[in-house]
Amino acid sequence: MPHFIDGPGFDLALRITLVVLLIATAALSVRLALAEARLAAAGRENVEIALERDGVLIELVRSHSVVAQMERDAAEEQLRAASSAAGLRLVEASTEVERFEAAAEAHEARMQALLAADPKAVESRIEAASRMINDALQARRT
């Protein structure tokens, strides 16, 4: 019975195993290098997309600021126009009832302008109506 541990058969088996392991290692090294290259490319694309997203976000914030400023300017202009128109109607009103109606309209115009300027800081409708009635009653007494 030949001993497989000693002799040329064992050397040949070790050489074949070593060659197979070297080929497998080389194949895995190539696959790893390709995967690393794909990962690096994906990382670069991710950075480019993040930079583009940040630029768009900055422009969006700027445009929101511009729109908010334009809305504030429009509300102030509307408030000035409503105040001047209401003031003219108060001066032109000849009877007490007309003055009362003009004052109520002027107050309503101011409330609408304030509502347009900052809808979050508006008092409730009941409070606004109560204040309008009190203002009108005080205006009627004077």
Q: How many structural domains are present in the chain?
A: 1
Range of the domain at 123: 8-141
Tens of pLDDT, residue by residue over 74-133, are: 888 887 777 666 665 555 555 666 667 777 777 777 767 766 666 555 556 566 667 777
Please report whether residue 82 resides in a domain: yes
Distances from the Cα of 47 to the Cα of 14, 43, 52, 53, 59, angstroms = 49, 6, 9, 10, 18
31-83: pLDDT as tens digits:
999 999 999 999 999 888 888 888 888 888 888 888 888 888 888 888 777 76
Whole-angstrom Cα distance, residue 113 to residue 91? 21
Q: What is the pTM of this model?
A: 0.39
Residue 86 lies in a domain: yes
